[in-house]
C-alpha cells in the first residue's frame, strides 16, 4: 500500500467505523460463533503475494464482525464500561502515525511532557490532593499505565522494595528471604481479582478481609487484622482500598483505612477506583475521596468510564521516587543529557515501551470540556436509576444492594438456580448481555450502563428482555 492508496483506504475505513458505531444498535450484542471459528474462514498460512486492500477490507464484515462482542452496543450491560469516543479514536490514529516509544523524555519529548500536564489536568478534574500533582512542585505526579492491574502491581512492587530497604536499614542482619516470607498485604474480599494476582506476581501474601453489610472495608477490621498479624511476626506493609468494587460498586471507607495505615506507620496505601474514579469529576461523588491525602498511590481507568478508548489507566503517586527507586535500571543506551529534568516514564512502569496515550486525554478533555464529561457520567447514572425503578416495581424481583453509579444489582426472589437460569436465557438470546456476581452466596445479575449510545428506551428494552425470560421461568 502506498500513501495514495492509504488515503483512499483510510477514508473508506473511517466511513466504515462511523457506520459501524452509528448502527451498532442493529447488531446482535453477543456473537453466536464457536471457539476457533476463524480457522475455518481464512487460509492456513500467510499469503505469499500481497492482496489488494479491497479484498482485505471485505473480510472485516465476513470474518471479524461475526465474532465481535459489541461492547459499545446500547444493549451491552456486562462487566463495566469501556470508553469510546470520536476524539479518542482520532488521538489513537495520530498516536499510531507518530508511532513513538516514549520510554524516556528524549525518546519523544511531547509524549512525556503532554502526559505530565494531562495527568495534572485530570487529577485537578477529580479533585486529587495537590501532593499527587506534578504542578505542585513536590515529589508527586501522574503516569498512564495500561491497566488498573498494572497500577496495583507497580504500587505493590514499589512498596515491597521500600519495605525491604527500610527493614535492612534498621537491621542489616535481616535476611531478605526472611522479610519476603513475612510481608503481608491486605485488601477486602470484594476487591478485584487483580489485587490477589498482583500478590502472586510480586511473591507477596495478600489477606482478604471481610467487609461490612454494605460490602465496604472498615478501618476497625483492618486494624484488628494488622494487630493480629504483627503479633504473629508478620510485617503488614501494603493495603489496597477499593472505591467502586467490581461485584456491587461498594466503597471502602478511605478515611478510616487511611487513619489506620497512618497509626501503624510504614504502610503503603493504594487506592483502586478503576471504574468509579471517573465519577469524581462530579462534586456530588467527591466525598468518596475523603482520606485520600493519607494514600500513597491512586488509580482509575479513564478507559472505563471517561470516554477514552482502551488503554489509559491513570495512576498518581505522592512520591514518585518510591517507584523510580524500585524500578530504576539505567543502561548507557537509554541515558540522555536532560535526565532528571522531566520524568523518564520507563522507571514508573513495568514495560520499557509506551505509546503516546496522553493524546487521547488531551483530545477528549478539550472536546467535551469538564462540563460535557460530567454530563456523560450523570446521564449514565440517571439511566441506572431508571432501570432500578423498573425492577423495584416488579415484586418478583429484589435489589440486594442499592444501585451505585451506573450499576444495578438485582435478582429474582428465591433460589440461585432460578437466577442462573434467567441469566443464561438472557445471554443465550443475545439481545442484551449481562454478567453475574455473587454477594454473600447470593447469585445476582448486574446491569451496568456501559455504552455512550444507551438511552432510556434501551433501558426499557433491557427490562422487557429480563421480564420476558422471567415470565417463561415462572410460567
Ligand atoms: N479494579 C477494579 C475495581 C475493577 O473493576 C477492574 C475491572 O473491572 C480492575 C481493577 C481491573 O482493571 P484492568 O482491566 O484495567 O486491569
Sheet holding 407-412, edge to edge: 397-398, 407-412, 442-448, 435-439
Residue 340 has pLDDT above 90, yes or no: no
Range of the domain at 226: 100-355
Q: How far apart are CA 77 and CA 32, in angstroms?
A: 18
pLDDT over 80 (residue 26): yes
Determine how β-strand 435-439 pairs with β-strand 141-145.
Answer: unpaired
441: alpha, beta or left, given left = phi > 0 and alpha = psi -120 to 50? left
Where is 207: in which H helix or E strand?
Answer: strand 205-209
pLDDT band for position 343 (cuts 50, 70, 90): confident
Q: Tell me the CA–centroid distance for residue 366 and ligand 1, in Å.
A: 26
Residue 51 lies in a domain: no
CA 38 – ligand 1 centroid, Å: 29
Catalytic residue from among 70, 72, 77, 192: 192
Confirm or reject: Cβ of 299 under 6 Å from ligand 1. Answer: no
Query: Using an 8 Å Cβ cutoff, are 91 and 362 in contact?
Result: yes
Question: Is 434:449 a contact under the CB 8 Å cutoff?
Answer: no
Task: Decide: 194 in ligand 1 pocket, CB within 6 A.
Answer: yes
The yes-or-no verdict on residue 93 having pLDDT over 90 is yes
Q: Whole-prediction pTM value?
A: 0.95
Q: What pLDDT was estimated at residue 336?
A: 82
The torsion defined by the Cα of 291, 292, 295 and 298, in degrees rounded to 10, comes to: 150
ipTM field: 0.98
**Domain CATH number, residue 104:** 3.40.640.10
**Nearest protein Cα to ligand 1, atom 14:** 147
Q: What is the pLDDT of residue 334?
A: 80
Counting from 1 in the atom list of ligand 1, the atom nearest the Cα of 313 is 15
| Ligand 1 centre distance from Cα of residue 274 (Å) | 5
Q: How far is CA 186 from CA 236, 240, 270, in A?
A: 8, 6, 10
In a domain, 386, yes or no: no
Question: Which residue out of 78, 148, 297, 405 has the highest number of ligand 1 atoms within 8 Å of its CB and is therefore the one to mutate?
Answer: 148
pLDDT per position as a tens digit, 209-268: 999 999 999 999 999 999 999 999 999 999 999 999 999 999 999 999 999 999 999 999
Ligand 1 contact, 152 CB (< 6 A): no
Percent of the chain with pLDDT over 90: 89
If residue 316 lies in a helix (H) or strand (E), which one and from where to where?
strand 313-317
Domain membership of residue 324 (yes or no) is yes
* Mean pLDDT, rounded, of the chain: 95
- Does ligand 1 have an atom closer than 6 angstroms to the CB of 274? yes
Count up the domains in the chain and report the number. Answer: 1
Length of the chain, please? 475
Q: Which residues is 151 bridged to in the sheet?
A: none
Residue 53 lies in a domain: no
Q: Which atom, in ligand 1's list, is nearest to the CA of 147?
A: 15
Asked about 433 being catalytic, the answer comes back as no
190 Cβ closer than 6 Å to some ligand 1 atom = no
Residue 113 domain flag: yes
In short, whether 314's Cβ falls inside 6 Å of ligand 1 is no
| Any domain includes 415 | no
Whether ligand 1 lies within 6 angstroms of the CB of 144 is answered as no
DSSP code per residue over 75-124: TB-SSS-----HHHHHHHHHHHHH----SSTTT-HHHHHHHHHHHHHHHH
Question: What is the DSSP code string of 344-384?
Answer: -GGGGSSSS----THHHHHHHHHHHHHHHHHHHHHHHHHHH
Q: Which residue has the cell 508478620?
A: 234
Secondary structure tally for the chain: helices H, strands E: 15, 11
Determine the Cα–Cα distance for residues 250 and 252; give it in Å rounded to an integer: 7
- Which of 71, 149, 252, 297 to mutate for ligand 1's pocket (most ligand atoms within 8 Å of CB)? 149
Above 90 in pLDDT, residue 333? no
Set of cell numbers at residue 240 = 489496597
Q: Which residue has the cell 432500578?
A: 388
Residues 296, 155: contact at Cβ < 8 Å? yes
The reply to whether 87 falls in a domain is no
CA of residue 331 to ligand 1 center, whole Å? 33
Backbone angles phi, psi at 16, to 5 degrees: -60, -45
Q: Identify whether 79 is part of a domain.
A: no
Amino acid at each position: 500500500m502506498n500513501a495514495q492508496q492509504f488515503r483512499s483506504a483510510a477514508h473508506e475505513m473511517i466511513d466504515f467505523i462511523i457506520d459501524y458505531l452509528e448502527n451498532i444498535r442493529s447488531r446482535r450484542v453477543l456473537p453466536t460463533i464457536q471457539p476457533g471459528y476463524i480457522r475455518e474462514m481464512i487460509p492456513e498460512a500467510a499469503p505469499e503475494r500481497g492482496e489488494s486492500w479491497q479484498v482485505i477490507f471485505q473480510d472485516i464484515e465476513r470474518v471479524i464482525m461475526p465474532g465481535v462482542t459489541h461492547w459499545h452496543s446500547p444493549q451491552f450491560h456486562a462487566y463495566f464500561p469501556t470508553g469510546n469516543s470520536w476524539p479518542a479514536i482520532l488521538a489513537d490514529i495520530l498516536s499510531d502515525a507518530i508511532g513513538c516509544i516514549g520510554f524516556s523524555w528524549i525518546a519523544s519529548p511531547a509524549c512525556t511532557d503532554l502526559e505530565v500536564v494531562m495527568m495534572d489536568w485530570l487529577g485537578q478534574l477529580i479533585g486529587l490532593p495537590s501532593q499527587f500533582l506534578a504542578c505542585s512542585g513536590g515529589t508527586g505526579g501522574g503516569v498512564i499505565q495500561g491497566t488498573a492491574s498494572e497500577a496495583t502491581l507497580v504500587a505493590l512492587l514499589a512498596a515491597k522494595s521500600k519495605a525491604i530497604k527500610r527493614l535492612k536499614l534498621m537491621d542489616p542482619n535481616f535476611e531478605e528471604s526472611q522479610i519476603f516470607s513475612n510481608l503481608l498485604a491486605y485488601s477486602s474480599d470484594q476487591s478485584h481479582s487483580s489485587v490477589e494476582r498482583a500478590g502472586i506476581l510480586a511473591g507477596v501474601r495478600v489477606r482478604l478481609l471481610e467487609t461490612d453489610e454494605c460490602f465496604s472495608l472498615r478501618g476497625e477490621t483492618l486494624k484488628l487484622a494488622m494487630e493480629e498479624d504483627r503479633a504473629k511476626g508478620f510485617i503488614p506493609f501494603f493495603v489496597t482500598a477499593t472505591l467502586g468494587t467490581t461485584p456491587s460498586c461498594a466503597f471502602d471507607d478511605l478515611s478510616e483505612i487511611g487513619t489506620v495505615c497512618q497509626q501503624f506507620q510504614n504502610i503503603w496505601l493504594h487506592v483502586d477506583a478503576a471504574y468509579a474514579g471517573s465519577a469524581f469529576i462530579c462534586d456530588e461523588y467527591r466525598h468518596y475521596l475523603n482520606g485520600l491525602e493519607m494514600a500513597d498511590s491512586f488509580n482509575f481507568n479513564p478507559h472505563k468510564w471517561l470516554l477514552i478508548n482502551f488503554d489509559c489507566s491513570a495512576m498518581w503517586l505522592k512520591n514518585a521516587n518510591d517507584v523510580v527507586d524500585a524500578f530504576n535500571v539505567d543502561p548507557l543506551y537509554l541515558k540522555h543529557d536532560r535526565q532528571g529534568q522531566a520524568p523518564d516514564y520507563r522507571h514508573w512502569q513495568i514495560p520499557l515501551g509506551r505509546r503516546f496515550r496522553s493524546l487521547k486525554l488531551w483530545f477528549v478533555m478539550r472536546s467535551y470540556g469538564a462540563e460535557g464529561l460530567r454530563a456523560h457520567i450523570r446521564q449514565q447514572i440517571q439511566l441506572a436509576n431508571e432501570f432500578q425503578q423498573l425492577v423495584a416495581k416488579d415484586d418478583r424481583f429484589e435489589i440486594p444492594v442499592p444501585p451505585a453509579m451506573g450499576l444495578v444489582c438485582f435478582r429474582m426472589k428465591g433460589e440461585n438456580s432460578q437466577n442462573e437460569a434467567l441469566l443464561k436465557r438472557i445471554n443465550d438470546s443475545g439481545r442484551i448481555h449481562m454478567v453475574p456476581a455473587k454477594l454473600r452466596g447470593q447469585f445476582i445479575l448486574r446491569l451496568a450502563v456501559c455504552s455512550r449510545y444507551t438511552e432510556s428506551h434501551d433501558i426499557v428494552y433491557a427490562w422487557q428482555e429480563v421480564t420476558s425470560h422471567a415470565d417463561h421461568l415462572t410460567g
